[in-house]
Structure 1
Amino acid sequence: MSRPEPMQRDRIIGWTLSGLVLLFLAMDAGGKLIAPAMMIANSPPLGIPAETGLYRQLGVILAVCGLLYAVPRTAVLGAILLTGYLGGAVAMHWRVGSPLLSHTLFGVYLGVIAWGGLWFRDPRVRALIPIAG
């Protein structure tokens, strides 16, 4: 079995990382859309209204951001929007004093993986953010 070329290897790594992010986003958005009452019941007290309509709206926003991120032509826009969404989640957890490493910074971890996946799969992002030379 031959080894993949460097560009092909980068794309595989990128889509693997992006796939992990998209899987999490799909589960989170799906939960908010399909069973918002269960999501509300299992969410920590974050100080947002416990209304199923609000959770459904958040699910739609997250699903749209995830779809934009999944499509190569709109992936950068999707990553930017996801970064904003995740930043709100980090701020909300920080405000209520959630555990730092597990809850508060989870949005940061997910954002780093999302941008890392995009960096590996899109040469335009690598040109814009030249991490490795």
Structure 2
Amino acid sequence: MNTSLVLPVPTTKSVILGRALSGLVILFLVFDGAIKLVPLPVVTETMAALGYPADQGLARLLGAMTLLCTVLYAIPRTSILGAILLTGYLGGAMATHLRAGSPLFTHLLFGLYLGVIAWGGLWLRDPRLRSLIPFKN
């Protein structure tokens, strides 16, 4: 009896689109993490406006967490773990914006948009994820 799992093979177009979407997410998150590591004044001012202390150490910690999750997402062997961690991180950002009363479509839901793009890019290029989340044609 053959118990091996046959993984759905993504097309070349879907792999290219998936890499492009994942690349956009990675570029944005690297930028976001980098400005928190510096940290630029806009970072600490925004943190204060959202109800967090305007502490450079906290900004650097958030930047390091962002970059760590992004690196895990960018590496094919750990991309699903990275996506899971990014989902939690982005969920925390959404909760912060909800609590602060930020605008719905531009601020609050931005984490959702980014998460959908991250998972969509991963689904388009990774047969392991396609087998876990199959969509019917």
Under a length normalisation based on structure 1, what TM-score does the superposition of the two structures give? 0.91
1:103 to 95, 104, 107: 107
- 1:87-120 deviation per Cα after TM superposition (whole angstroms, max 9, x unaligned): 0000000011000000000000000000000000
Query: Is residue 77 from structure 1 mapped to residue 81 from structure 2 by the alignment?
Result: yes
CA contact (8 A) 1:36 1:56 kept: no
Paired AA for residue 75 in structure 1: S
Matched position secondary structure for 1:49: coil
Query: Is residue 41 from structure 1 mapped to residue 45 from structure 2 by the alignment?
Result: yes
- Once the two structures are TM-superposed, the CA of residue 44 in structure 1 deviates from its matched residue by 6.6
Matched position secondary structure for 2:79: helix
CA contact (8 A) 1:37 1:52 kept: no
Unaligned runs of 5+ in 2: 1-9
CA contact (8 A) 2:19 2:125 kept: yes
- 1:39-78 deviation per Cα after TM superposition (whole angstroms, max 9, x unaligned): 1135571111110000000000000000000000000000
- Report the Cα distance in structure 2 between the residues aligned to 1:20 and 1:37, rounded to whole angstroms: 25
The match for 2:27 is 23
Output the aligned Cα RMSD.
Answer: 1.4
Q: CA 1:132–1:25 in 2, change beyond 3 Å: closer, same or farther?
A: farther
**Alignment: residue pair count:** 128
The match for 2:121 is 117
CA contact (8 A) 2:47 2:53 kept: no
Unaligned runs of 5+ in 1: 1-5
- 1:6-54 deviation per Cα after TM superposition (whole angstroms, max 9, x unaligned): 6211110110000000010011000001234331135571111110000
Matched position secondary structure for 1:29: helix
Which of these two proteins has the greater Rg computed from alpha carbons? Answer: 2
Task: Give every structure 1 segment of 4 or more consecutive aligned residues whose post-TM-superposition deviation is greater than 3 Å.
Answer: none
CA contact (8 A) 1:36 1:52 kept: no
Query: Is residue 89 from structure 1 mapped to residue 87 from structure 2 by the alignment?
Result: no
